[in-house]
Amino acid sequence: MNRSAALFAIAFFAAAPAVAWDSTCVKYGNTLYGASDAAKRICAGSDSTTACSTAQDEARGVRVGEHALLASRGLAAAGLATLVSAQLPSYATTGTPFGTGASVTPGVPGVLGSSSSMLRHRTTLPELAEVPDASYGLADFLLGNEHCFARGAVSSDATRDRAARGTADGATTCHDFSSRMGSVNSTHFGPQAKASYVNYHALALQVAGRCRADVAKLPASDAYTAKVASACELEAMALEVTGQHYLQDSWSSGHMWQRWGTPLFETTADGRVRQQVVAMLSGLIHGWRSLAQDYAVVSYWKDDQLCMPGFFSSYTPAEEARHTSELVRFGFPASATRYAAGGDDYLLSCTAFKQSERWAVASTQSDSPLRPQYRRLLTCSARGVAEIYEAGPKTAGARRNEDVLLESGIRTSLDDGCWAQRVTNQSMVLGSAVSTLARLDDPALITRWAIERLPWMASTVTTETISDATWTAIRDRLRVDFAAYGLAIRQAAALRPEGLDAADLATTPLLGFGANGQQTAPVSGGAVTYMEKPQRAQWVTSAVTACTGDGDCASDSYCEGSTTAPSAGRCVLKEQAILRVFRHGEVAHWCAADTASDLAALSTACRSGRSADACTTCIEWARPHAKSVAAATTCATLGVSQSVVVGTGFEASADASANKFCRGN
């Protein structure tokens, strides 16, 4: 391949925005994720046959990447190893009649309101740490990535975007990382990452606290109480582990800077293209290896200068001494101490295969220079899950001994010591490839070529139509803005190589986008419609809007078909997916929300004998409403006085009453 063609290929492969710690999904069918073999799976990788290839595959497969491994280690470090194997519960809906032939394999996506049988997701708790790389949120994942909750994701044209929301192709396009999700992944960097985590952590605390209060009201000897406790605790932990994705990202050296951008899609064609260019260039600055390692033409440059820790294992001591200035380093503004760092795709020694084992981020060797980074990451993760567990009913009893690696000085996952880390000015220069050499082996050559091509590639992948004049204007402004950025960080590195100011991009906007710390308000305030609303009380649909498809609903809702007329549905908030999956834990909500017609429809389906799942679901839904001679209904015990009551009240237990109501015998 000639040099021009090679460089074009480099720019092309650089186009996809990169993620932090690797998220990997494989189509293993009924295989269950296991922490004991997580490292082995990461080392083995996945091929084109087993890898999840679509957004829907991502919601049905098994997540076996670095994020899941870090989550499992965080749980274990907090003394909660028993929760590593905890699975999401099975669930069902009354959206359509039971017994219509729907699959009940783990591969069925959770399209609530369109399912005719029990949905069984064998997803374990640690896997949820990978959700934000392939789904817009936990609810999106639970709904099978089959809806688009991101306004403007498909098109800047509002009419086209709204129409696409109700189609399968629209949902697929919406979840494409390279052309859509990557544009708004500024939430995985700096202050926006913290704001995202804070929302999930706060939600988890809300659920855990309410869970503990509910369980305290219920009879300790009742088996149903244990079911409620387990489900609501798992719901709280699911929210926390999903949020920990952003905490983990912040501890990849490739994410220890702010990145430009906003979590909301731009509303004009020009804005969308500029937004995509910014995402592409951010991916070029970090995460380069994940894009280039599989292509021979760029293999010479595949090691990432903002993520690669340490030296090549083949280096002699003299060579290491010559390359010391190329090490990635990080620190905290309040301290002059600097530490060695590593990031994306360099977590384990098998993936950091060109470095010695001691230079893997999660190295087990006590003399690893990266021990401070990994220790702090593990500590912050453990503090987060421990706080949620302690706030809830603690179904597994007292936590076991914490890992000896944990730092006693970090008491909470919201500590500045978990979020203020930034790479040094010298590291930003290396990662941004803004040196002034003009050799073929100079990474800056890649950057200069990419800047010429990125506007064209951005308009292509986003399918936005812009004029030649607009394309040229974006390219010319990109040249100027990136030159200003390059000059600023080179000056910072020359004057303060160990300083941290270059990583905060305070005075260097790019194509109109400032440092992402300027855009935390939409995340904190719940204006990012594709993420979970930050208050649990906001998850309830108040006004019912009729619909025949998602395009009839607000961007934070989807159209759920009715039991009697699937074509005449209602708009339902996406968070209802979480309430349904963890139904037993949300028993007080459903005590108030279940109607007599809902329960009657389930009873009819059960008595018809169409499906075993119909009876299982009916009994589970009716159980908190069931009256018996032994005690008041669960709903009444929880103080939901206006709830539906089923059963005659003469049965010996609520379980017997629910069974009789559903089966009629």
pLDDT digits (tens, 9 = 90+) for 620-635: 899 999 999 988 899 9
In angstroms, the CA 249 to CA 67 distance is 9
Query: What long-range pairs does 169-175 form, CB within 8 A, spacing at least 24?
Result: 171/55, 171/145, 171/146, 171/147, 172/54, 172/55, 172/56, 173/148, 174/55, 174/148, 174/150, 175/55, 175/58, 175/134, 175/135, 175/136, 175/145, 175/148
The confidence score (pLDDT) of residue 89 equals 86
Confidence of residue 12 (pLDDT cuts 50, 70, 90): very low
* Listed residue (234, 131, 66, 56) closest to 531, CA to CA: 131
Q: Are residues 340 and 489 in the same domain?
A: yes
Residue whose pair of structure tokens reads 């869970």 in the numeric block = 211
pLDDT for residue 397: 95
Number of domains in the chain: 2
Among 241-255, 282-296, 637-651, name the one with the lowest average pLDDT: 282-296
Which residues is 358 bridged to in the sheet? none
Q: How confident is the model at residue 120 (pLDDT cuts 50, 70, 90)?
A: low
Task: Report long-range pairs for 371-377 (Cβ below 8 Å, ≥24 apart).
Answer: 372/339, 372/340, 373/251, 373/253, 373/330, 373/339, 373/340, 373/341, 373/342, 374/405, 375/405, 375/406, 375/407, 376/251, 376/407, 376/410, 376/417, 376/418, 376/421, 377/70, 377/248, 377/251
Band (pLDDT 50/70/90 cuts) for residue 389 is very high
Nearest to 275 by CA among 79, 516, 58: 516
3-state secondary structure of 339: strand
Strand order across the 422-423 sheet = 338-340, 329-331, 422-423
pLDDT in tens, 526-565: 999 999 999 999 998 766 788 888 889 999 998 876 444 4
Of residues 297 and 88, more confidence is placed in 88
Residues in CB range of 387: below 8 A, 6 or more apart:
201, 205, 412, 413
Strand partners, 601: none
Let me know if residue 67 belongs to a domain: no
Coil, strand or helix at 513: strand
DSSP state letter for 88: P
Closest CA to 325 of 91, 493, 484: 493
Which of the four pLDDT bands, split at 50, 70 and 90, describes residue 567? low
What residues make up the domain containing 629?
594-663
Residue 476: helix, strand or coil by DSSP? helix
Q: List the beta bridge partners of residue 63.
A: 25
133 domain residue, yes or no: no
In this structure, are 375 and 476 located in the same domain? yes
Task: Indicate whether 290 pLDDT > 60.
Answer: no
Shared domain for 296 and 400, answered yes or no, is yes
Position of tokens 């060579």?
Answer: 319
Rounded to two decimals, what is the model's pTM? 0.93
**Do the Cβ atoms of 286 and 255 come closer than 8 Å?**
yes
pLDDT of amino acid 56: 82
Query: In 284-336, which ranges are E strands?
Result: 329-331
Give CA–CA dist 248/523, Å, rounded.
18
Q: What is the pLDDT, as a whole number, of residue 277?
A: 92
> Domain ends where: 504, 524, 544?
524
Q: How much is the average pLDDT of 48-57?
A: 82
- From residue 344, give the alpha-carbon distance in Å to each of 22, 309, 341: 7, 10, 11
Asked if residue 194 is part of any domain, the answer here is no
Structure confidence at residue 310 (pLDDT): 85
pLDDT at 292: 52
**pLDDT range class, residue 28, cuts 50, 70, 90:** low
Residue 68 has a pLDDT of 96
Looking at the structure, do residues 520 and 598 belong to the same domain, yes or no? no
Q: How confident is the model at residue 14 (pLDDT cuts 50, 70, 90)?
A: very low
Indicate the average pLDDT of the chain: 85
Last residue of a domain, one of 481, 501, 524: 524
Residue 618 and residue 508 share a domain: no
Are residues 381 and 505 both part of a single domain?
yes
Long-range CB contacts (within 8 A, 24+) of 318-323: none
The residues, any chain, with a CB within 8 Å of residue 82's CB and separated by 6 or more, are: 396
**For residue 570, is it within any domain?**
no
Across 424-435, b (16+ Cβ under 10 Å) vs e yields bbbbbbbbbbbb
Tell whether 578 is covered by a domain.
no
Average pLDDT over residues 315-324: 86
In this structure, are 304 and 427 located in the same domain?
Answer: yes
Confidence band of 119 (pLDDT split at 50, 70, 90): low
Of the candidates 567, 512, 559, 435, which has an alpha carbon nearest to the alpha carbon of residue 148? 559
Q: How confident is the model at residue 136, as a pLDDT? A: 97
Least confident interval from 222-231, 258-267, 314-323, 574-583: 314-323
516, 191 in Cβ contact below 8 A?
Answer: yes
Q: Is there a domain that residue 387 lies in?
A: yes
Q: How many CB atoms lie within 10 A of CB 404?
A: 6
Rounded Cα gap, residues 481 and 68, in angstroms: 37
Residue 36 domain-assigned (yes or no)? no
- Residue 102 confidence class, pLDDT cut points 50, 70, 90: very low
Give the total residue count for the chain. Answer: 665
199 vs 487, residue with greater confidence: 199
**Reported confidence tier of residue 291, pLDDT bands at 50, 70, 90:** low
Q: How far apart are CA 325 and CA 424, in angstroms?
A: 11
Q: What is the pLDDT of residues 595-620, one digit of tens each?
A: 898 888 888 888 887 667 778 888 98
What values do phi and psi take at 572, rounded to 5? -125, 135
Residues 6+ apart with CB under 8 A from 366: none
Verify that 406 and 497 share a domain, yes or no: yes
Domain contains 446: yes
**Rounded to 5, what percent of the chain is helix, strand, coil?**
50, 5, 45
Distance CA 189, CA 285 (A): 13
Domain end position, chosen among 524, 552, 580:
524
Percent of the chain scored above 70 by pLDDT?
85
Residue 116: pLDDT band by 50, 70, 90 thresholds? very low
Choice between 6 and 181, residue whose per-residue pLDDT is larger: 181
pLDDT digits (tens, 9 = 90+) for 321-331: 888 888 999 99
Residues 518 and 614 in one domain: no
Confidence grade of residue 442 (pLDDT, cut at 50, 70, 90): very low
* DSSP 3-state of 490: helix
Phi/psi at 368 (5° precision) = -65, 130
Q: Does one domain contain both 300 and 411?
A: yes
Q: In this predicted structure, what is the pLDDT of residue 111? A: 41
HEC profile of 232-261: HHHHHHHHHHHHHHHHHHCCCHHHCCCCEC
Do residues 511 and 603 both lie within one domain? Answer: no
**pLDDT of 103 above 70:** no
How would residue 113 be classed by pLDDT, with cut points 50, 70 and 90? very low
Distance of CA 59 to the CA centre of its chain: 12
> Distance (Å, rounded) from C-alpha 150 to C-alpha 528?
8
pLDDT tens, residue by residue, 131-181:
999 999 999 998 888 899 999 999 999 999 999 987 889 999 999 998 999
Q: Return d(Cα 74, Cα 376) in angstroms, integer.
A: 11
Tell me, yes or no, whether 353 and 458 share the same domain.
yes
8 Å CB contact between 557 and 538: no
Asked whether the CA dihedral 540, 544, 546, 551 is positive or negative, the reply is: negative
Say how far apart CA 649 and CA 631 lie, in whole Å.
9
For 260, list phi and psi in degrees, rounded to 5. -80, 155
Q: H-type helices in 302-421, by residue range?
A: 317-322, 371-391
